[in-house]
Amino acid sequence: MRTSCLVIISIVLVLAAGGAWSQGMSGFPATELRAVDTPSDGGGSIDLEWEGEGLQFVLIMRATSPGGEFETIGDAIASDGSYTDMRLDDQTDYYYRLAYPAGEDTLLGAVAGPAQSKTNWFRSYRKNALVLTALMFILVISYVTQARKGKRLFIRRISGLSAIDEAVGRATEMGRKILYIPGILSLSEIQTIASLSILQHVSKLTAVYGTDIEVPNKDPLVFSAARETVKQAYMEAGRPDQFKEEMVTYLTYDQFAYAASVTAKMVRERPATNFLIGSFFAESLILAETGQSIGAIQIAGTADIPQLPFFVTACDYTLLGEELYAASAYLSKEPVLLGSIKAQDVVKAIIMVTVGAGIVILAFGSNIVRDVLFTR
């Protein structure tokens, strides 16, 4: 397959070159070939660069000694001026030359090399990401330390959070249960972890009020973690006797089968309050509309942006994106966790200033801030 491809390509190239030749173009279109190790990569690759003009094809040839047999490994357009040769062995000397098929003959360029590929220790094009990561870590650690030392950090009230206590209270008054749905992704998803920490707060309340709570699960890992979380909350609230294993159940792994089971549960058991907090996909509205139709108070929270419109229209309160994470820190009322919200606010401000500055500088014709933010 590969060889036949090469044959076809070569034929095409010869024809193309013949055409170019007949139009009177001559001379070697690419000069000053350089071969260097590809920077910032895992090795096995060498970058070739040359000065070239025109749209002619040049063949790229490689050998392991300067006088050895050169084999064609690929082609490029002369004016592109670069080519990356991959799948090489590290610590081996390679020599390159360009060839230009002109009519019957093939013109050969000068030999470049030796070059060795090697595996590198840093992706230099990710410096900006490194700065951002370091900044985030440093700010979180420093604010958390400040908070530990007793410094008061102001975080505004997040609407929807006071609604959590109200909603638990209402279920207690009505003598009905609370349904807590921790989303449908596994523990690898950070929203699920945020949801579990909100679940801990909610189940502490239900333990104190003696309200019934049920947590149906889609993911088996979340199921076992949620059971531990609820158990822990009942212990901390001083009501370990009230905790029942049936409070946290496993349903099924399929998104829509899960939605079917949960909606059926809603209709049959008529919970007074539904929490839909975590990661949701298409089932969001199936759950939220059914909950709405049975008249339950619904509190939703997700960072899955496509589902936000549905929660906003069908639930009483919705924690939007970042609010979900902030809520889980806020509810614990631990100053340490509040410190990390502060840190994310500072980074947010830095981003806004950077972007703002970038816009102004761009208006004066410089692309520098955009270049600094460029990454891959």
Partner 1 sequence: MAPFGIPIGVWINAFLTICILSFLYKDNPFFRFAESLFAGMSLGYYIGIVTENTLKPNLFRPMINDFWGNHNFLLVIPMILGVMLYFRYIRKIAWLARIALAVYIGYYVGVYLMQKLHGDILFQARDTIVPLTMGGIEAVWNVVIIVGVFSVLVYFYFSAEHKGALGRVSRVGIWFLMISFGASFGYTIMARISLLMGRFSFLVNTWVRPMISG
Partner 2 sequence: MRRTIPLILTFCVGMYPIFAFFVPHRVVTNINQNLDTYLVIVAAFALPLGVVNLVMSNINKIKKKDKGWFYSVVLIAGLCLMAFYGIMGGDQGFHAHFQWMFENAVSPLQATMFSLLAFYVASAAYRAFRARNVEATVLLIAAIVVMLGRIPIGDMITGGRLTPISEWLMTKPNAAAQRGIIIGAALGAASMQIRVILGIEQTYLGSGKD
Partner 3 sequence: MKIQKLLYIDRRIIYLLVAIGALIPIIRPIGLPVVPSAPVQGLFERVEELEPGDAVMLSFDYGPSSEPELNPMSAAIMRHLFMREVRVMVVAIFPLGGVQIAIREVARITSEFDLEYGVDYVNLGYKDGGQAPMKAMGVSIQDVFPADVETTPTEGMPIVEDVRNYGDIEVVITLATGIIGEWWANLVNAQFGVDVAVGCTAVSAPKYYAYLRSGQMIQRGLQ
Of residues 314-373, those binding partner 1 (CB under 8 A): 320-323, 326, 341-342, 345, 348-349, 351-352, 354-356, 358-359, 362-363, 369-370, 373
Return the number of the residue (25 or 158) whose C-beta is nearest partner 1. 158
Per-residue tokens: 231 = 């158990």
Return the number of the residue (1 or 363) whose C-beta is nearest partner 3. 1
Stretch of 36-44, 154-162, 164-172, 364-372 lying at the interface with partner 2 (CB under 8 A): 36-44
For partner 1, what does the binding mask look like between residues 100 and 139, x meaning CB under 8 A? --------------------------x-xx--xx--x---
Q: Is 294 in the site for partner 1 (CB under 8 A)?
A: no
Rg of the chain on CA atoms, in Å = 32
Torsion over CA: 298, 301, 307, 308 (sign) = positive
56 to each of 10, 14, 73, 148, 334, how far by Cα in Å?
A: 13, 11, 17, 67, 68
The interface partner of residue 158, options being partner 1, partner 3, partner 2, none and the CB cut-off 5 to 8 Å by kind, is partner 1
CA gap 160, 164 in Å, rounded: 7
Q: Is 305 in the site for partner 3 (CB under 8 A)?
A: yes
Q: Is 135 in the site for partner 2 (CB under 8 A)?
A: no
Shortest CA distance to 172 belongs to which of 135, 205, 139, 199? 205
Return the number of the residue (62 or 265) whose C-beta is nearest partner 1. 265
Q: Going by C-beta distance under 8 Å and a sequence separation of 6 or more, which residues neighbour residue 200?
A: 229, 230, 232, 233
Q: Is 252 in the site for partner 1 (CB under 8 A)?
A: yes
Q: Is 179 in the site for partner 2 (CB under 8 A)?
A: no
Per-residue tokens: 219 = 């993911």
Return the number of the residue (45 or 200) whose C-beta is nearest partner 3. 45
For partner 3, what does the binding mask look like between residues 84 and 113, x meaning CB under 8 A? --xx--------------------------
Element (H, E) at 248: strand 248-250
Q: Is 199 in the site for partner 1 (CB under 8 A)?
A: no
Q: Is 260 in the site for partner 1 (CB under 8 A)?
A: yes
Q: Is 180 in the site for partner 2 (CB under 8 A)?
A: no
Q: Are residues 40 and 123 in contact, defined by beta-carbon separation less than 8 angstroms? A: yes
Q: Going by C-beta distance under 8 Å and a sequence separation of 6 or more, which residues neighbour residue 122?
A: 40
Coil, helix or strand for 211?
coil
The CB-based long-range contact list for 147-153 (8 Å cut-off, 24+ gap) reads 147/335, 147/336, 147/338, 147/339, 148/335, 148/336, 148/339, 150/335, 151/335, 152/335, 153/335, 153/338, 153/339, 153/342
Q: Is 376 in the site for partner 3 (CB under 8 A)?
A: yes
List residues bridging with 110 in a β-sheet: none
Shortest CA distance to 250 belongs to which of 227, 268, 279? 227
Binding stretches for partner 3 (CB under 8 A)? 1-2, 5, 42, 86-87, 185, 188, 253-256, 279, 281-282, 293, 304-307, 375-376
For partner 1, the binding residues (CB under 8 A) are 126, 128-129, 132-133, 136, 153-156, 158, 187-190, 193, 221, 224-225, 228, 251-254, 256-258, 260-261, 263-264, 267-268, 306, 308-310, 312-313, 320-323, 326, 341-342, 345, 348-349, 351-352, 354-356, 358-359, 362-363, 369-370, 373-375
